[in-house]
Structure 1
């Protein structure tokens, strides 16, 4: 919701910046939506930073002071709260492994498929960060949790640069596997006809590969939230995408391509400033490519929520907007 409200704020700035920045209540609105985006989403800070840079560039001749003031104030406040504030409140920081599904999946894939071509030095380097025997046996191409659960935060904290160097070195040595690993763990975000999780009403689905992975490797147990045949039917219908045409409307990949069409329409109509309204959703989508799952709706729910608004502004015939 916060990303949607933030997107509406950007639309207001793009369509009438002078009026927007002339009212104090709009500053409060923008600050609240920025803070909401950063605090309620793990990737929210990246969405805000990306939006900040583009807004600052587009409005560099006018309103740059207002944009700098609002964004820098909220970003500094966010970092103070998530460092000093969290420490005072005894709130633990999240693990670094949450942002490293791409390299961790790649390492596990190499252990499974290129083990004979890895040197002992390379295997030892991987083992430093993923200290588990038979790492390749835990590799699921579409789901990184079975691998990343073994990630050593302590080793990473002491050897961050070495981790990056190792990934780059192995990616250059095995470029095909690096690309395949990335695609397998992200294709649901851009390939329309993907079977995945649209909604889920239990901790695992026993008759699915991912469900078995959760049960056997992660020790998760089945725990339906609500026992209902109707809810189960809705879940199966959405997740299995069995209704022709209609099923595409809850496909992440299909929504992504609709968004690109909307952007093309904006460009064709020369409403260039309005392209800024896509930045928050693009930021969410880009960071979701590095998520633990190949395609999960909850990571990009803001895309579904924002798309009706984006579509409306992409197809409007309002002459005033056309001249913005």
Structure 2
């Protein structure tokens, strides 16, 4: 997708042979694959995964995956960085996008209506609280430095710094506190969305971090040894 919104086919399309195209199609549906690709969110691609695909087809797909990497490694590396940079770089694109109106719009989609039916309570108190929360979200995004609290990268780098410190101090008990949070980050990194697109996947880390830092600080052997 170009900056002007123009959608183009995948840049590697000309490198794909008929046999490779067929192997990809049996797993991910090759038609319009380039148009469905979005480096920030791979839902449109993964949603076309053939759940009835055979193990032989999966094996053939990964063989093609490896062959294509050899043909154009730059394309692979670029896609990898585009999918994950938001977890390590505080992008200006970081934003809260889920207002009540936006949530209602998303919930009204046919695919979501099959499984969910959520509606906010219709009352003055709820509407006022929603209005105040939206004002808070907009304000925080525009205050220098404080706006970094709206970035996934801020929490990831804090966690990395603490973990490196604990490793240098050989504090294995202190490090154990952070293992579950590292696990959450690992799941995020194999997930379909960039950290600058959907911060919510990192919420467990964000919510637990003050307590994890507090537990780390209160260990006297780390402070005074």
TM-score range, shorter chain: 0.7 to 0.9
Q: Which residue of 1 aligns with 2:177?
A: 277
- Determine whether 1:201 maps to 2:103: no
1:4-153 to structure 2, matched below 5 A, reads: 112-131=10-29, 133-153=31-51
Distance 1:220 1:273, change over 3 A: closer
Contact 1:186 1:294 in 2 (8 A): yes
Contact 2:21 2:30 in 1 (8 A): no
- Determine whether 1:165 maps to 2:63: yes
Q: Which residue of 2 aligns with 1:231?
A: 133
Contact 1:284 1:300 in 2 (8 A): yes
- Determine whether 1:190 maps to 2:92: no
Q: Work out which of the residue numbers 288, 291, 307 in structure 1 matches 2:188.
A: 288
Can you list the C-alpha shifts for 1:37-62, whole angstroms capped at 9, x where unaligned?
A: xxxxxxxxxxxxxxxxxxxxxxxxxx
Report the secondary structure of 1:155's partner residue.
coil
Report the secondary structure of 1:150's partner residue.
coil
Which ranges in structure 1 are unaligned for 5 or more consecutive residues? Answer: 1-109
- Determine whether 1:304 maps to 2:206: yes
Shift of 1:173: 2.4
Contact 1:188 1:194 in 2 (8 A): no
Contact 1:255 1:303 in 2 (8 A): yes
Q: Work out which of the residue numbers 244, 248, 251 in structure 1 matches 2:148.
A: 248
RMSD between aligned residues: 3.4
Q: Which residue of 2 aligns with 1:179?
A: 77
Shift of 1:271: 2.0
Can you list the C-alpha shifts for 1:95-138, whole angstroms capped at 9, x where unaligned?
A: xxxxxxxxxxxxxxx95112112222222221111225222111
Corresponding pairs, count: 204
Moved more, 308-317 or 141-150: 308-317
Find the aligned partners of 1:218 and 1:140 in 2 and give their Cα distance. Answer: 21
TM-score (ref. length: structure 2): 0.73
TM-score (ref. length: structure 1): 0.53
- Determine whether 1:266 maps to 2:166: yes
Shift of 1:242: 1.8
Shift of 1:267: 3.0
Structure with the larger helix share: 1
Report the secondary structure of 1:234's partner residue.
helix
Contact 2:94 2:151 in 1 (8 A): no
Contact 2:86 2:153 in 1 (8 A): yes
Shift of 1:262: 1.1
Can you list the C-alpha shifts for 1:261-302, whole angstroms capped at 9, x where unaligned?
A: 112322343424422222111111011112121122321212
